[in-house]
Structure 1
Amino acid sequence: MNDQEGLNPPPQAAQVLAEATAIGFTLSCDDQTGALLRTLAASKPGGHFLEIGTGVGYSTSWLLAGMDADSRLVTVEKEASHNRIAMKYLGGDPRVSFVTGDAAKFIGELVTSDETMAGKLDFIFADTATGKLTHLEEVLSLVKPGGIFLVDDMLPKAETNFVPDPRYIELTEKLENHPDFVITKLGWASGLIIATRKA
């Protein structure tokens, strides 16, 4: 079995990736992670999804490819220029709402507003420091029983000479020891942790 074959990126992915390359944006997820996002999204029909860190929309395109017609995705990105690329190719999809702004502030509003989303989200993909290295408990509080929290980029990187980042070690330990979640660690792609809230 070759896990690099048969990934079949969604139609918009190539266009998004081409624009990312043109502006020197290199932080999009790899295709293995994208395929996992699509598969997990398909397991949540009618689901409510949150992506923290849209980037230019590459991972967003994979999520949408797995979601059914009744699912809804909110994706938040602080860089307006990046969000414009994502919206250029994906903004016509009625299932997705794009938010340009500070993720920490947005998460706070989801947790504390009168119409709180605490315990109501089926799937959260945290692809930026906010939600992983900061505001972890706030984000986890949004996940409903049976819901999934996914983080990537957990393996050491070449730019750090493959020295583990202590912040990611701490994150791993927090998720391993969290009383409300069961997790699986995948030393695959960029390094992933899948956490599911216990019923």
Structure 2
Amino acid sequence: MNDTIFHAIPETLESIELDTRKSGFTMSSERKTGSLLSILAAAKPDGHFLELGTGTGLSTAWLLSGMNESARLDSVDNDVAVLDIAGRHLSRDRRVTFHNCDGENFIKQTQSDTYDLIFADAWPGKFYLLDEALKLLKIGGFYIIDDMCPQPNWPSDHEDKVRHLLDELNGRSDLKVCRLAWASGIVICCRVV
């Protein structure tokens, strides 16, 4: 089996990838992660989704490709330059709302039990404010993080942060946790309580 052959690539993906390379942005999620996000979004028809860390919109495109017409996506990033790339390619899709704000503020201002899926690809909601982010997740909802396998661009103390986060997720009684040493290292959690 070849896991680099994808069933359906979002129609905007290649143009976003091109603009991402031109911009010099190097922190985008890879296609494997995106294809998984698309499947998980498809599993939640009419769902309400949250992406913490829009980046240039690569993961956003994958999420949208899995969503049905009545699903909604809130995508949050505090970097105007990368949001501009995402917006140029995806803002015509009425299902997505881009929020140019700090993820920490967004998390703190959002009501509990709001989202069917959270993709936490930024530090808020992942390395800090984890409890607050998980409270936003409905029972049966998915919480997904990536970049859990060592990366060449990690700062020297980052491995300790990752280890602490993984231990914290595994110790929670409100989640079922699946670690995948695949792509950049993915963790999928389902809130059960």
What TM-score, normalized by structure 1, do the two folds share?
0.93
Quote the sequence identity (%): 38
| Deviation for aligned residue 1:9 | 2.0
* Structure 2 SS opposite 1:35: helix
Residue matched to 2:127? 133
Letter in 2 for 1:50: L
1:183 lines up with 2:184 in the alignment: no
* Structure 2 SS opposite 1:10: coil
Assess, with a 3 A threshold, how the Cα gap between structure 1 residues 150 and 75 changes in structure 2: closer, same or farther.
same
Distance 1:25 1:98 in 2: 18
In structure 2, the gaps of 5 or more residues are none
Letter in 1 for 2:28: S
Letter in 2 for 1:151: I
Alignment check: 8 A CA contact 2:73 2:95 kept: yes
Aligned pairs, how many?
Answer: 193
Distance 2:132 2:21 in 1: 33
Alignment check: 8 A CA contact 2:6 2:35 kept: no
Distance 1:102 1:144 in 2: 22
1:172 lines up with 2:169 in the alignment: no
1:121 lines up with 2:144 in the alignment: no
Alignment check: 8 A CA contact 1:180 1:197 kept: yes
What TM-score, normalized by structure 2, do the two folds share?
0.96
CA RMSD of aligned residues (A): 1.6
Residue matched to 1:113? none
Residue matched to 1:151? 145
| Deviation for aligned residue 1:129 | 1.1
Residue matched to 2:73? 73
Distance 2:137 2:174 in 1: 10
